[in-house]
Structure 1
């Protein structure tokens, strides 16, 4: 049975081994060609090997005493990321964050789907695209409210993301979601500045070309894509995995 494993991490900081919790939820391909959510979900606490800062504890509420006797990341990661039968890809919301810790060495080189990037493509009419905003804007079928709580813990967040992934895969192909995920995000509206909130097709050529110099890869990519749509000589840049724009 083909499956995509949704991953969510909570961390103690930005170091390569600073994971303090990993959660997962599988989305599987049925005999009818439809993707569904199965019962394969769970979470492990992870010892990050250093104290958790108050700033990060205030987000996920995982304390040093909670992880003191937990295994280290290198002990936990392989069993979740690469040893599950039938997993053909991994997924996460804003997957660039998870990819910083779930390196190819740990994943066996599995490809990634970013549900944030795919949501921008499939549901561009929505006003916001965070994991929890998508949850309440869309109200995905079958999502049990209590299982998806508390937010900012690894298993509940993976569970919520899996419902978005299921619906994305049933709206677009696996191959298309993987291709979108390999590119910067295609933003449906200008995220900041005097044109904030406008769709890109409402901007003049000079405004679009000004966005080609933006520091944000998603903004540059979206401006280039719109220019290419109009037949301008500018073409979309090659894929950049990092996601920095917050909608």
Structure 2
């Protein structure tokens, strides 16, 4: 199966409007065992169209002067995705926490993936199941490969770590067939102990929400972590509440 793995570093702010300072894309093929055979690569820095938030610089280490003479991301990044699509790597787009971040930026810039896999979702399932300290990319790389993350928050390093996680994640869940893993990882699963990050009940565990807040949360769902929505539905059904309401608004 052909796929691309991508990761952005930005100037800070919302994925719907932030400027881009780096994009790394790996194109290749995935074997049945999840091993990624890289066949193409693009990793460049870009001018974000404005200043970089100092707090964001402290994360990825990119300063305004580092990208002052780089091409504007709004013209350059779409060409990267056009080339990826030309080579057929847009069949499957893979990232780490890409559902609400990298994919959002990429769609602004022309990517239209046929299917998407967010490896944070199975990684977080593993964290909750095994009581791991963190589901961050660096911690999962250390946990699953035994190696130390190098150059974390450099987009190219992050894509390589993401690719390396696929086979050991499959193995931890007893899956030896990548298509089966893909189906499982892209189907929402109820996960005990999930906390809401947005909207009504923010910061609370789903199981602890009162009925009114639970109803508001599920009817206001706007997309994101598929396991959060599955957990909301599962709790709603467990309590024997009425039919799940239609979505009314975004939160």
Q: Could you list the per-position Cα deviations for residues 132-178 of structure 1 after superposition, in whole angstroms to 9, with x for gaps in the alignment?
A: 121122226xx6x5xx5211111111111112234456736447636
Q: Which moved more, 1:160-169 or 1:18-27?
A: 160-169
8 Å CA contact retained: 1:12, 1:53 = yes
Q: What residue in structure 1 maps to residue 76 of structure 2?
A: 76
SS in 2 for 1:76: helix
Q: What residue in structure 1 maps to residue 9 of structure 2?
A: 10
Q: What residue in structure 2 maps to residue 23 of structure 1?
A: 24
8 Å CA contact retained: 2:25, 2:156 = yes
8 Å CA contact retained: 2:4, 2:25 = yes
Structure 2 residues without counterparts, runs of 5 or longer: 197-202
- TM (normalized to structure 2)? 0.69
Q: Is residue 2:214 matched to residue 1:212?
A: yes
Tell me: CA distance 1:43–1:214, structure 2 relative to 1, closer, same or farther (3 Å). Answer: farther
Q: What residue in structure 2 maps to residue 149 of structure 1?
A: 150
Q: Could you list the per-position Cα deviations for residues 46-79 of structure 1 after superposition, in whole angstroms to 9, with x for gaps in the alignment?
A: 1101111211111111011111111122333234
Tell me: CA distance 1:105–1:68, structure 2 relative to 1, closer, same or farther (3 Å). Answer: closer
SS in 2 for 1:25: strand
8 Å CA contact retained: 2:77, 2:109 = no
- 1:12: how far off? 0.3
- 1:102: how far off? 0.5
Q: What residue in structure 2 maps to residue 64 of structure 1?
A: 64
Distance, in Å, in 2 between the alignment partners of 1:13 and 1:47 is 13
- 1:100: how far off? 2.1
Tell me: CA distance 1:3–1:167, structure 2 relative to 1, closer, same or farther (3 Å). Answer: farther
2:140 to 113, 129, 134: 134
Distance, in Å, in 2 between the alignment partners of 1:12 and 1:132 is 21
Alignment RMSD: 3.9
- 1:99: how far off? 1.9
SS in 2 for 1:21: strand
Distance, in Å, in 2 between the alignment partners of 1:150 and 1:238 is 44
Q: Is residue 2:103 matched to residue 1:99?
A: yes
Tell me: CA distance 1:100–1:132, structure 2 relative to 1, closer, same or farther (3 Å). Answer: same
